[in-house]
Amino acid sequence: MKIAYFDTIAGISGDMTLGALISAGVSFDELREELSSMGVTGFELQARHIERHGILATKVDVVISEQPHYHRHLKDIENIIEKSSLPDKVKGRAKNIFREVAIAEAHVHNQPLEKIHFHEVGAIDSLVDIVGVAIGIEKLGIEDVYSSPVKVGNGGTVKSQHGFLPIPTPATVEILKGYPLELTNIPQELTTPTGAAIIKALSRGVLNTEKICISSIGYGAGERELDQIPNILRVFIGELETSKDSDEIINIQTNIDDMNPEILPHVIYTLLSKGANDAFLVPILMKKGRPAFLCNILAERSKLDNLLDVLFKETSTIGVRIHAVERTKLQRTQKQIQTSLGKIFVKAIVIDGQERLRPEFEECKRVANEKKLPLIDVYKIIESELKP
């Protein structure tokens, strides 16, 4: 899977991201041509090489020839993007980035989303930066984005349309809620709201022990020199080597305290037969000291209606709780192997490039019945033969 990994050495902004993608291989001429499809005039996109602490990076500038004298609301920006001839994926990414900023601004200023009008972010240069980043991601064929913990400045102030704001700015912090960030001792605005929104809208999170086979590296330069660190954003483009899959399922929960517990095994069986990935009961103690069971169901969202039908018909519950759950799982396949007990199917799981084989319960039960052996002995025999 081809990914982009943003290494936020000195934070992240829109122009730094665009510069890093150009440095990593995005054609500057193709980028300018696609940006022209938005129908926005009054600017010229420029790119040049610049050194930051001896590291050659790409500095992108949006030179404005005519400054608009009006504010743009989120709907205005979305209309500009939607009316362009850009690919749908590019449109979607760009709109998601702008929406992250709008939501944060609405929260910080306690205003409805539709009332938020953009100053810095809605200006032509940020429109170009954000749409340009979305184009660059598509041009490089990137499927997923990851990052380091986002570095932000700490202390000092920055001037804005609302006056002087503390660093990191309220909008930046609001956008990055729930995402790992790193406070530095640099009293400069390292990460802007635009940069934070790019991370929040596009990134799947922070990489830990995953391995990347790097194909290209890009460096995007920030506006000013910093004494402490090179003011650059580094991006790695490459293939992510992972043995894990991620998806989203739902967790359905309900407390059951007023029905015959002898019926509950039947409920679990019925839930599994109706498509639940898993269903289990946990003993709990409810208010007034009443013993009860917490029924947990994990399933694909498409199975929700069938599972709710089982709960409402087969149990005494009158209400359930439904949560979206992010799941990470090891990749696994089924393969047939030869053992001293004959051919059996086992689970094959890959961890850090190493294959592990594990017995399947139903297969072990089948062999136990056929060979007239205790099930525990079948497990022991097969597990001993699966060891490398």
Retrieve residue 78's tokens. Answer: 């979305």
End position of a domain, from candidates 305, 326, 347: 326
Are both 141 and 256 inside the same structural domain?
no
* Separation of alpha carbons 34 and 53, rounded Å: 33
Q: Taking residues 184-202, what's their average pLDDT?
A: 93
* Separation of alpha carbons 384 and 292, rounded Å: 41
Report the CATH number at residue 263.
3.30.70.1380
* Separation of alpha carbons 365 and 344, rounded Å: 11
Are both 263 and 286 inside the same structural domain?
yes
176 DSSP 8-state letter:
T
Q: Taking residues 69-89, what's their average pLDDT?
A: 86
pLDDT digits (tens, 9 = 90+) for 92-106: 999 999 999 989 988
Are both 12 and 84 inside the same structural domain?
yes
pLDDT at 119: 56
How far CA 224 is from CA of 50, 51, 86, 189, 352, in Å, comes to: 11, 11, 32, 11, 41
End position of a domain, from candidates 326, 345, 361: 326
Compare 327 and 320 and report the one with higher pLDDT: 320
Are both 142 and 191 inside the same structural domain?
yes
Consecutive H or E run containing 352: none
Are both 191 and 117 inside the same structural domain?
yes
pLDDT at 118: 63
Q: Taking residues 178-185, what's their average pLDDT?
A: 90
**The total number of structural domains that make up the chain:** 3
* Separation of alpha carbons 143 and 69, rounded Å: 38
Q: Which domain holds residue 297?
A: 245-326
* Percent of residues, the chain, with pLDDT higher than 70: 93
DSSP, collapsed to helix, strand or coil, labels residue 38 as helix
Q: How confident is the model at residue 120 (pLDDT cuts 50, 70, 90)?
A: very low
149 DSSP 8-state letter:
P
Are both 13 and 115 inside the same structural domain?
yes
- Average confidence score pLDDT of the chain: 89
Are both 169 and 128 inside the same structural domain?
yes
Are both 79 and 162 inside the same structural domain?
yes
* 335 close to 346: Cβ distance less than 8 angstroms: yes
Compare 110 and 6 and report the one with higher pLDDT: 6
pLDDT at 351: 72
Are both 90 and 222 inside the same structural domain?
yes
pTM above 0.85, yes or no: no
Q: Taking residues 141-158, what's their average pLDDT?
A: 90
pLDDT digits (tens, 9 = 90+) for 360-377: 898 999 999 999 999 999
How far CA 249 is from CA of 299, 303, 320, in Å, comes to: 6, 10, 16
